[in-house]
Structures are given as C-alpha cells and as structure tokens.
Amino acid sequence: MKQILLVLSLIGILIGSCTSKEEARFQIKEGHFYLDKKPVQLICGEMHYPRIPKEYWRDRLKRAKAMGINTISAYVFWNFHELQPGEFDFEGQADLAEFIRLAQEEELYVILRPGPYVCAEWDFGGYPSWLLREKGMVYRSNDERFLAACERYIKRLGEELSSLTVENGGPILMVQVENEYGSYGDDKVYLGRLRDMIKDAGFNVPLMTCDGSGQMEAGHVAGVLPTVNGAVGEDIIKSVDKFNPGGPYFVAEFYPAWFDVWGTPHSYRDYKRPAEQLEWMVKNGVSVSIYMFHGGTNFSYTNGANTAYGYAPQPTSYDYDAPLGEYGNAYPKYYAFREVLQKHLYKDKPLPEVPAENTIIEIPELTLSESAPLADAFNERINSERPLSMEDVNQDFGYIHYQTVIPKPVKGTLTIKNVRDYAVILLNGKQIGSLDRRHRQSSIEIDVTEVPAKLEIVVENVGRVNYGSDILNNRKGITEKVTIDGKELKGWKNTPLPLHKAPVGSYHYSSDLIKGVPAFHRTVFNLDKTGDTFLDLSKWGKGAAWINGRSLGKFWNIGPQQTLYVPGPWLKEGQNELVIFTLEDTGARTVKGLNAPILDQVGVDINSDERPKRDNSKKPILDKGDIVLTKSLEKEFGWQEFTFENAVTMRHLALETVSAFDDGMPCLSELDVIGEDGKPLTKDTWKVVYASSEEEADKKGYADCLVDGNLGTYWKARSASQPQSVIVDLGEIMTIKGIRIMQPYQKITGKVNEFRIYARPQFFLFK
C-alpha cells in the first residue's frame, strides 16, 4: 500500500510540475511576452536603488508609474552588498527586497539585473574591490576562483529575492545573465555557468542577456532570451531575428541621453528624436527599457570611469539628462514620453497624475568656521618598504595617505609610477603640487633643502574602470613606486582613509582655519523647515562633503557639476552639521543651498597644461642596426599586434612611417608596447621627445596623441612626404616583446601602411 501511495505521490508531483510549467504567470511564446495568459508589452524604466535615497524610493516609483512605465529594470550592485568576502548587507539603503516590494505595491513589475558585472558607470562595474587582492584572478571569465565568489553572491541573492519572482507571488518577471558580455568576450562556458547559478539560486522565471547588435552572437547563451541594446527602428527586428526569429523584440537599453564625465560639458539630448524612436517601438509591439529613466546620485564615491579615450571618471551626479532628473524633477523628455505612452498604450485608461514636486528650499550663506587637520582621520598606519595600494590595505573607496622621510638634500624629478588616480604632494607640511591621471601626469620637480624632510602623498580613488579590458587593471593608490631622478624612495607609512562614511573619531576642530593643504572644515546651522537643496561648491576646489553624517559624494571645480544634491529627508528641523573635506583647497569657506542644481558649468582645470614646445631643429639618426620590426598595417580600425623576433631591451622607441594609404599625410591613433607578460605596459611616464612633423591646429594631430591612451585622438603629420618619425621616451629601460598599433577610426586619408620600429636603451643621436 505504501508503495502505491508513493507512486501516486510521485505522479502527482510530476503532474503538478507540468501544470505549474504550463500555467506559469509569465511566459515567452509565439514571439511575445505573456502575463497571466495575455500578451504584454514591457515598458521599462531603469532605476538604481543605491542612487536614490531610500526615503524617496516610493516617490520615484510613483513618478515612473505616472509616465506610463509598467516595469522597473534594476541592476544589483555586488559591491554594495558583499562588502567583504562572505559578509553581506541587505539592510537600510541596501534593502533591495524592500525596493522590489515597493515596486509591487505601486503595481510595477521588475526585471532584475544581478550581473555579477553590471557596468552602470559604477566603480569596478559592480565588482567588489576585494577581488583585486587575488593575484592573477581573471574577472569575467571561467576562472574557478572568480566563479566561486560569483556563486556565493548569487546564492545569497537568491535567498533574499527568489521568493519575489512573479511565479512566487512577487513582481520579478525576468532575470538577466551578466551584462553586455559580447562587448568583452565570447566564453560560452562562463556564461553557461552564470546561467546555471541563477537558476540554482531559485529564480524560476525566464532569463535574458543583453548586448549591442554587433555583439549579440558573442553575448548570448543557450536557454536564455537574447535582447538588444541601443538599436532603434528596423534594426531592432533585424538584430533579434538573427538569434531569436520572430521575437519577442526587446530593447533592453534604449538611450535617450548619456552620462557625464568630469571636466566636460553636461550631456544633453533633445527629447524630440528619442520620443519618435520610442513611439516607433510602442506602435510596433517592441518592448523597451529606458536607460536611464531616473539616474540619481553616486553617493559615497561609487562612480566609475572609462578608459577608451583616456581615463575619464564620472561625477557624483548621475542625472543622465534622463526623463526624471537627479532629484526627481521631470524634464520635458518625461512629458514627451508620457504623451507617447498615453496615446498608444493607455487609450482607455488615463495615466495617474504626475505627483507634485517635492519641497525645495534655499539655505542662506554658511561659513565653515572650524577646521581639523587630515591627521585627525588617521587610524591604522601600516609600515612597508614600498607604498601599498588601497587593495593591499583592504580598502575600497576614498583616499590613502603615504608618508616617508627624505634624509638628504636633493633637487630633481619626483615620479609616482602609475598613480591611481589623483595625488596631492606635500613637503614638510606644505603642498607643492598635484598629479592627475586624466592628463597622464606622474612627476613634478622637487627641491628638498630642509632635512630630514617629510614627504606626504594623498591619493584619491577617483573611480575604478567599469567598462572594457581595463577592469583587469583597477588597483588604486600608488600601485608601483616613487622615485627622485630614478632613485627609489623606500620606507613608507600607509594610512587608509576611506572617508566614504562620515568622518568620525577625535577630530580636533578649532577656529584656527587650515589653509592650502588637505583638511576638514565644519559648520553647524539651523533650519526652520526641510526640503531638497543643492550645495553650491563652485568656488571650492576638490573634495567631499557630508550632511548630518550622510555622504553627499565628491565635488570638483572642473565641473560640469558644481553643486551637490542634498536630499530633504537627510536634513533636520533644528540643528544640522555640514562637514567638507578639501583635497585641493582654494581657500573658499562659504556655501549656499540653492533651489536648483548647477550641472553644466565647466571650471578651471589647474592640472591641464599646454603641450610643451619641441625643438625640431635637429634630426634623429635612425640607425638600421636599431631596427627591431618592419611591417605593414591593415587599413581598418582596431588593434594590430606585432611580436618581435626576440625580446628587446629599450628605453627609447622610434616609429618611422614608410608609406600611407591614399598617399595622404601619415596618421595613427595609438601605440602600445607589450611587456614580458604579454600585456600592454602603462604609459603614464612616457614622453614624445621628437616628431618630424605634427598637425598643431586646434591641438589636433599632436604626436603626443599617439601615446595618450585616447582612441579618439590621433597623430597626423603636416606633410605627405615619407618617411615621418616619432620618438618616445618610455621613462625607464624595459624588456619589450612587441607592439600594437591602432589606426584612427575617423574617415581620413593617410592611415599608415608600411612602418619600421627602432629601439635603443640609450638616447637616439641627433645631427
């Protein structure tokens, strides 16, 4: 009898499983999405819970619903939750389950995008910095150590969120596997492992990948819905049909705007064309996710950086010129999109009224009349022979302080090899200069007369790379060594200064104002009422701020952002405390709370220098005996790599062009050298010391562009005559296995065909 009951029980389980599968609430079939057996067109808006004060989560969700959005698309940021290996945080601002439940309460569905890699202009693309402590670990790959860390994270995420899938009564419709992987690699084993981890974590809903049209082949994986990013119009249909004929058609990232970069104007895109593109998708049954619908703010130093065109970090504001601005303000784009959605999707059901704007206040001028020295923040001090990186001292964000003693008088060039990313240098307590990775700066002149001299270097992590191959090269602080005229300085004290949390401890604030060096400045003020406001720091230099212990993020006078967003719920009726840390001090000590942000005001960049003049009166002697490579390039854009017959010891490299396509003036975008480990070497100490010819109009065509790490610039000779030559000083003698060269992507004549490489440990001779 027991056996019969067991068999009947098993049959019941099997029937139940089949019925459950057949009756899944959310399904993909017949080229459409179906929810509760009815076809549904997903109109998604991307929102990121860490970039929105928790107190405003519901407010922003209501505004999404009022625009016509029916689904929230949300990245999950691994480094926001697993702060140390195995130590997870899903509380407070990190309570993602609560964010998802609020979405459901507002009648919104959710697409979950857990990565583990997310990009998102977020530090390290969402990866936790402690991964960088693992020597040789390869991220975004089938590296077992990396996958073990991914599995622990995804399993815990399942414990937090799998009960919130639509099949379990929650709002989660789909879960994304990785993120735009086709732009990075094509390892199907890696993608398959992640796919299986997500399933095993209990996410019992369809899975998806997203990639640009040209990268879908590399980025999709079996058993997962392929979707396209960035495509519009008929290209959507063509792109998806290659891998999933007949659909469903889903643009997982539609870009009506773009993110900002420090030192460049605010990104802006008129709403008219994006509104037309959205209307085409809605009318043609294409599901779409607006990236971003609402960007928000990179509180607590979480911004990322890109390196395709030189190191380019993002600011604190992630306004994005999205339909809903940084503080929940509706731009004209919001109302244009709302009109499209009302017209085509909600003909018989008026959209909810747009919520009234939140209260905005102004704060009269405040004077920060108290200062405390940076040393008050010193806690753990670690001794080492060479400087330690942030990762060496188990630090994620913020700043790190280095100190050593120079025992004898010396005058020469102080070089910080591969500094990441912004360094302020002090000698005997006085600031003598700063170095900015954006400008590939690594050295200043130093004159030490009073000895023993205290040398201090404060380095800021301005943002880890979040996109491209440089995610593998993401250590912060002083990552190599410090020298004076080539002689290495040793014996360092390393002091971590995370400072992304409010400065706490025994800070000795006094009315003796500290000027000209990194320090903390403070004021206490009273408010009769609270509301959103915008702290005007346009007269200040570079640093960070906290209100009532909450991080407002970083400011930098180079812009385009000149204000820091202060959320109303973070202010108090009565007494409030404002603390500002100055890394670069201009002497400003007053601030106001404005009633609108300043997001498009580029300021003075003290580290941006004019290119030095070169003496071309003498010509180099390029000896045939120094030739290490003679080759020809293909004309198309892309890296072309060449290996020397034998490894070569060199400090000075000469590139000589022999011929060019279309008989134009020779031009090249970028030159890298390949080290003994087979990887391109850092170029921050390189100098172009000679160019036979270079175009100088509007700073375009400089030979410096050949080694600036920016694929959008290029060297161009002023003459079509051949040969033309450029000589580069690599800064020290190195063993080089080969080179790689990039042709310009621009449609110009003169792309180099035949070329030669000369190498010398010593200087090239001139005549």
Catalytic center residues: 180, 253
Strand-pair category, 172-176 with 207-212: parallel
Q: In Å, how far from its chain's centre is CA 112?
A: 20
Distance separating alpha carbons of residues 469 and 306, to the nearest angstrom:
10
> In degrees to the nearest 10, what's the CA dihedral of 542, 543, 544, 545?
-80
Please give the Cα distance from 122 to 305 (Å, whole number).
8
User: Using CA atoms, how far apart are residues 312 and 154, in angstroms rounded to an integer?
Assistant: 30
Rg of the chain, C-alpha, whole Å = 28
Exposed / middle / buried, residue 273 (Cβ in 10 Å: 0-12, 13-18, 19+): exposed
In which region does residue 538 sit, left (phi positive, over 0), alpha (psi from -120 to 50) or beta (all else)? alpha
Give the chain's largest Cα–Cα span.
104
Burial code (b: 16+ CB inside 10 Å, e: under 16) for 186-197 equals eebebbbbbbeb
694-698: long-range contacts (C-beta < 8 A, 24 or more apart)?
694/718, 695/665
Contact 160, 201 (CB under 8 A): no
Beta bridge partners of 45: 72, 290
CA atoms within 13 A on the CB side of 714: 22
Q: How far apart are CA 514 and CA 511, in angstroms?
A: 9
Beta strands in 696-767 (DSSP E): 715-716, 724-742, 754-760
Which amino acid is located at 221 in the chain? V
* Residue 764 three-state SS: coil
Give dist(CA 244, CA 227) in Å, integer.
9
**Residue 431, SS3?**
strand
How crowded is the C-beta side of 148, counted as CA atoms within 13 Å? 8
**Closest by CA position to 243, among listed 278, 219, 264:** 219
Q: Compute the distance between CA of residue 227 and CA of residue 354 in angstroms, rounded to an integer.
A: 31
* Residue 632, strand partner residues: 754
**C-alpha to C-alpha distances, 17 to 11, 31, 37, 174, nearest whole angstrom:** 10, 24, 18, 20
* Token pair for 196: 């299986």
588 and 545 Cβ atoms separated by less than 8 Å:
no
Q: Which are the contacts of 583, defined by CB distance < 8 A and separation ≥ 6?
A: 399, 422, 424, 458, 460, 518, 541, 542, 543, 544
Q: How crowded is residue 350: how many other Cβ atoms within 10 Å of its Cβ?
A: 8
Residues in CB range of 639: below 8 A, 6 or more apart:
672, 740, 741, 742
Rounded Cα–Cα distance for residues 575 and 527 (Å): 7
Residue type, 49: Y
How far is residue 386's CA from residue 493's CA, in Å, rounded to a whole number? 9
Q: Cα(first)–Cα(last) distance of the chain, in Å?
A: 104
**Beta strands 667-668 and 715-716, pairing class:** antiparallel
- Give the contacts of 18 (CB within 8 A, at least 6 positions apart): none
Cα angle at 52 between 49 and 54, to 5 degrees?
80
